[in-house]
Amino acid sequence: MDFWIFMFIIVLVIPIAMIGIGLLFIYKPPKQINSLYGYRTSMSKKNQETWDFAHQYCGKLWWILGKQLLIFSIMPMIFVYGYEDNIVETVGGFVIAFQSILMCCSIIPVELALRKNFDKDGHRKETICKDRSTRV
């Protein structure tokens, strides 16, 4: 029982961190480009506009993913409540591995959004409106 509680808390760390950091990136992102804190990739650090865009996008993505991961992480742990420690450990390990992979893979949609909205030098791409007469 004590090990299950410990593992349950550990399984909640990544989703809660994603929710918290997501909200932080949305409402209080790092103001200036730096190498210590924030969403730091070569594309996001091109200029202030790419930096701000990446934090807003990543923040929203992590907030949504974190909430979903929280729900889907609790379910398997509830299922193994009362089981032997080795089973709880195995299930918890698989849940944490899945969370870690999903968290790392969240870089892909952020980078794709950056490349969709900015050129390789970090300048915002022009978009053509539907009536094709107005450029934004």
In a domain, 134, yes or no: no
Q: Does residue 33 fall inside a structural domain?
A: yes
pLDDT of residue 117: 95
Q: Does any domain span residue 8?
A: yes
Tokens standing for residue 34: 């730096």
Let me know if residue 135 belongs to a domain.
no
The answer to whether residue 95 sits within a structural domain is yes
Segment 44-57 shows an average pLDDT of 96
Domain count, the chain: 1
Q: Name, in order, each residue with C-beta under 8 angstroms of 97's C-beta and a sequence gap of 6 or more.
A: none
Q: Which domain holds residue 20?
A: 2-117
Are the C-beta atoms of 92 and 78 separated by less than 8 Å? Answer: no
Residues 15-43 have a mean pLDDT of: 95
With cut-offs at 50, 70 and 90, classify the pLDDT of residue 127.
low
Q: Is residue 127 situated within a structural domain? A: no
- Strand, helix or coil for residue 135: strand
E strand spans, 43-125: none
In a domain, 26, yes or no: yes
